[in-house]
């Protein structure tokens, strides 16, 4: 079935869908252009029938505590599980 609208013809059986992915990478330094190029080449080589765009969304600086909170929320790994939890007893004994 084909519909006509002010935007053109629409083939309801072959509608295109936009798939959006979010990738967060946390590191001290990262070559953003290399990452964008690598992702773009991967999409080009592995998803031939798709039109894709890879863009950087920005950089956020984390404090140590901010990173630990982000890691726990996003990956589920707490500071205690990672072994980098703050231990006030260790400081008072030193």
> Are the C-beta atoms of 52 and 40 separated by less than 8 Å?
yes
- Predicted TM-score (pTM) of this structure: 0.65
Domain assignment of residue 49, given as a range? 29-54
* H-state helical runs in the chain: 32-46, 64-75, 79-82, 88-93
Domain assignment present for 35: yes
Q: Running along the chain, 94 residues long, what does each successive block of 10 average in pLDDT?
A: 60 79 93 96 93 93 94 93 78 56
Domain assignment present for 77: no
- Total structural domains in the chain? 1
Domain assignment present for 13: no
d(CA 31, CA 68): 23
The pLDDT value recorded for residue 10 is 63
């Amino acid at each position: 079935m084909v519909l006509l609208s002010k935007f053109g013809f629409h083939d309801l059986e072959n509608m295109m869908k936009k798939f959006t992915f979010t990738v967060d990478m946390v590191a001290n330094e990262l070559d953003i252009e290399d990452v964008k190029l690598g992702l773009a080449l991967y999409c080009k080589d592995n998803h031939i029938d798709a039109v894709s765009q890879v863009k950087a969304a920005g950089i956020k600086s984390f404090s140590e505590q901010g990173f630990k909170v982000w890691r726990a929320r996003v990956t589920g790994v707490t500071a205690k599980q990672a072994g980098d939890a703050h231990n006030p007893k260790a400081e008072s004994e030193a």
